């Protein structure tokens, strides 16, 4: 079982909704530390060393971490073999009439949501959660998973609990959950979060934001372009189309659809953290392949994942720096410019090939005479007319 993927899950935040109380967080964070079976032991050993270095025999305690100490610990962790898959729930955006603003219903609702998402995302996952008495969410989640996932005759479940334990990795999950919370929770926010984020960026597969609201992605984005209204229309459309696609296909069992959904989640997350930055294809593939046994290749990614999403009308900008969801008109121009660098030369090559055959056969054979090539023929003829009008031979 060395290749099995483990998920050590912990939480940060309070279940209540009385935000006037000092202990009531505005957000609830769930963080999963993902590690392969072959890396589990070395990760435990290295995290234990870091813990002893900074805390001696104590556990990682969020209440004892100032920004300087957190930075030092994250610096020590950044090269270790694990990934993070997380959820950030903004409790302030949950409607009072939804029924979810009661602690018990909140726990039950998000237990189901997290389970459904993890089950769809990961083919196999050996779960470990922190079931301390104070962590009712984790206790209820454990019970819910055990109810849904029945082990086989050997008492093993490909997705569920298989009696694995690791207190040190559960402490790591709590530390990462707390670090993520610093970037979102109004009562714990720190100006140092951008620096923390840089240290854990390569660890993050995605942070799933809930509720689904495009305003999440506008909150920290300052429109400095000349036509901010147009830019806001573009970002809103890009995000809404992504969410609609995820919702429409989230129950699909087809592997390509699951990859497309994971890509959209990654792009949405990148939009929140780095709205103006493209992500190189290699980084995206590293992210997508971190949760897959069968690795995705670049050509397959472009032709079967990105292209199919664009065929469905989704807005995905691209340049020589990679991919992103567009936040402004210039992002869309990047996509058009990059496409034109490929499309126009190819059409010109087809036109030259056609002209050579027309010349050699005294115009008896036209390689574009078939009905399915009519659009190419029209484009080539139109370009010739434009050049003629401009006086270009």
End-to-end Cα, the chain, rounded Å = 69
What is the average pLDDT across 335-354?
Answer: 89
Return the pLDDT at 33. Answer: 95
pLDDT at 267 over 90: yes
Return the pLDDT at 57. Answer: 66
Rg for the chain, CA atoms, rounded: 25
Average confidence score pLDDT of the chain: 87
Task: Report helix, strand or coil for 375.
Answer: helix
3-state secondary structure 174-224: HHHHHHHHHCCCCCCCCCCHHHHHHHHHHHEEEEEEECCCHHHHCCCCCCC
pTM of the complete model beyond 0.85: no
Return the pLDDT at 227. Answer: 52
pLDDT at 1 over 50: no
Beta carbons of 277 and 325 less than 8 angstroms apart: no
pLDDT at 214 over 90: no
pLDDT-based confidence at 305, cuts 50/70/90?
A: very high
Nearest residue to 212 (alpha-carbon basis) of 235, 183, 239, 234: 239
pLDDT at 3 over 50: yes
């Amino acid at each position: 079982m060395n290749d099995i993927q483990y998920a050590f899950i912990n939480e940060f935040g309070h279940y209540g909704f009385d935000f006037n109380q000092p202990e009531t967080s505005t957000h609830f964070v769930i963080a999963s530390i993902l590690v392969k079976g072959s890396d589990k032991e070395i990760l435990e050993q290295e995290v234990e060393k870091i813990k002893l270095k900074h805390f001696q025999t104590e556990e990682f305690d969020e209440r004892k971490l100032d920004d300087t100490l957190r930075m030092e610990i994250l610096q020590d962790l950044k090269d270790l073999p694990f990934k993070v898959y997380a959820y950030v729930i903004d409790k302030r955006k949950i409607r009072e009439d939804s029924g979810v603003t009661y602690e018990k219903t909140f726990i039950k609702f998000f237990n189901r949501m997290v389970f459904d998402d993890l089950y769809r995302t990961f083919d196999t996952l050996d779960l470990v959660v922190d079931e301390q008495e104070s962590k009712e969410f984790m206790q209820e989640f454990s019970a819910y998973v055990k109810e849904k996932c029945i082990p086989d005759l050997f008492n093993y479940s490909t997705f569920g609990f298989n009696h694995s334990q690791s207190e040190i990795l559960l402490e790591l999950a709590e530390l990462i959950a707390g670090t993520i919370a610093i970037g979102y929770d109004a009562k714990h926010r720190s100006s140092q979060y951008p620096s923390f984020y840089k240290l854990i960026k390569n660890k993050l597969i995605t942070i799933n934001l809930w509720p689904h609201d495009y305003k999440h992605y506008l909150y920290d984005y300052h429109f400095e372009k000349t036509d901010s209204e147009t830019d806001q229309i573009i970002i809103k459309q890009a995000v809404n189309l992504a969410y609609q696609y995820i919702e429409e296909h989230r129950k699909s069992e087809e592997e390509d659809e699951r990859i497309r959904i994971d890509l959209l989640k990654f792009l949405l997350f990148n939009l929140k953290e780095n709205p103006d930055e493209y992500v190189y294809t290699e980084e995206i593939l590293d992210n997508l392949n971190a949760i897959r046994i069968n690795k995705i290749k670049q050509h397959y990614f472009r032709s079967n994942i990105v292209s199919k999403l664009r065929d469905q009308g989704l807005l995905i900008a691209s340049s020589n720096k990679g991919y992103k969801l567009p936040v402004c008109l210039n992002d869309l121009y990047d996509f058009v410019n990059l496409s034109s660098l490929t499309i126009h030369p190819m059409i010109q090559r087809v036109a030259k090939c056609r002209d050579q055959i027309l010349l050699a056969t005294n115009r008896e054979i036209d390689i574009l005479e078939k009905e399915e090539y009519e659009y190419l023929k029209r484009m080539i003829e139109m370009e010739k007319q434009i050049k003629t009008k401009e006086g270009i031979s």
